[in-house]
Amino acid sequence: MTDAEITALVTRCLYDVAPEIEGEEIAPEEPLADQFGLDSMDLLNLVIALHKATGLDIPEADNPHFTTLTSSVEYLKVRLSA
């Protein structure tokens, strides 16, 4: 997958988890929780949605990689290319 495809995937999963923010611009480097008022359960649901969308096993210890759009894309890029 390309960076653009992974970004679209993360964005789609984020909007599925928090439909009230759909259509809002996501600042790539700003924490998602700060931008949109997401709580830890929302971020966990994002990881679960990404697991379902990609089939990747994402260990709980890796959850901190999903705090920003950029870090999420970078994590998935590495894991999907392995």
What domains can be seen in the chain, in order of their start residue? 3-81 (1.10.1200.10)
CA dist 43 and 36 (Å) reads 11
Q: What is the mean pLDDT of each run of 10 residues along the chain (82 residues)?
A: 96 96 95 96 97 96 97 98 89
